[in-house]
Amino acid sequence: MATGKAPSGTLHPVKGFQLGTVKAGIRYPDRRDLVVMRWPEEGSVAGVFTQNAFCAAPVLLCRERMQSSPCALLVNTGNANAGTGEQGMSDARRTTAAVAEALDVRSEQVLSFSTGVIGEHLPVERLETGIPGCVDNLSEDSWWHAAEGIMTTDTRPKGFSRQFEFEGHIYTVTGIAKGSGMIHPNMATMLTYIATDAAVEQALLQELLAEVADDSFNRITVDGDTSTNDSCILIATGKAGNPAIQDRDNALFANLSEVVADVCQDLAKALVMDGEGATRFVTVAVQGAETVEQAHTVANTVALSPLVKTALFACDPNWGRILAAVGRAPVDNLDVEKIQICLDDVQIAEQGGVAAGYREADGQAVMDKEAYTININLGLGSASTQVWTSDLSHEYVTINAEYRT
């Protein structure tokens, strides 16, 4: 298999997948804020969604329609249509019906996605006015416009694309995402759309998405808040011409899985790098755990710690904060004598205290960098995982304090 990351700024079109956007004036003046995406009815669709109990009306509608052969979706920004009760569901159905009419498909074949302010009713008329323009603008080349059209507090659009060769045929995987704050596992306010031209049976596609989401979007945290609207959708258009992949033993599936995982990890990292007010991108890597779950618990505890995150912002090698966060992780059998902690390759802690050879100047040199890794070895086993996080800055407070003003 040969794979290649697309040149900077290039998002490869996916055969059979079209995107169209308009400026509907939902909340942000003179910004793309309404997106329609369409794919063939014979394509397959997988989705994973927020675990927040107050999930938004669009999430409820998507879960209801995932088995109805969806072939289109509608995304609006500026309004989350969350905490809106029965009217929220009615508004989601009404706007997707407008898309269905414009595309000549059944309403239940259209998925709904919203992101923005919670607790306000959807400005349905603005969406209905903008939908025909989105349909008129449908194109396989509009990935970047769509990436802009799904943003809220994001500072930049996020998209990645890969192509790989298998048995003489070129396959494409392209994805876009939005998210900057309210980012935390279960799912990591995040919307993600990934498409491939390969043909994949729906149940297998769902398995693939659940697996790659767990190792990407469920391994990031900006602020510890889980949104009401988080959704991640993977579409296989089937237009590459391969027989539909039906089992995991298929060699093409192994290649496709690797590339989809790469795109999802790139998107997940981009969400953290664009975290609200973020100035640092930090990987918390835990090894030597008994299980992956144990490693994830420790990594997440460190990545979520406000004291650690403010030290990251200050570029302060206050290793005691990291040590304390590891020690309070809800893991029963931690042995402080076995735990080793490093900043990149600079060892800062061992045998329950500061490492014998540690010099603060060395720790400072690492923390002055924009990206680095906190390496933690628990000394208990062979399992490992990592979490990607950002610092917590003054700007994060400003952005969220002024979000509705």
List residues with catalytic annotation. 189
Contacts of 222 (CB under 8 A, 6+ apart): 180, 181, 182, 183, 184, 271, 272, 275, 276, 278, 389, 390
Report whether 389 contacts 284 (CB < 8 A). Answer: yes
| Distance from C-alpha of 96 to C-alpha of 92, rounded to nearest angstrom | 6
If you count them, how many residues does the chain have?
405
Backbone φ and ψ of 96, nearest 5°: -70, -30
- The residue type found at 238 is G
CA angle 156, 159, 163 (to 5 degrees): 160
Residue 99, CB half-sphere, CA atoms under 13 Å: how many? 32
- Do 191 and 75 touch, CB atoms closer than 8 A? yes
DSSP 3-state of 286? strand
Distance CA 33, CA 28 (A): 8
Pairwise CA distance, residues 158 & 143, whole Å: 10
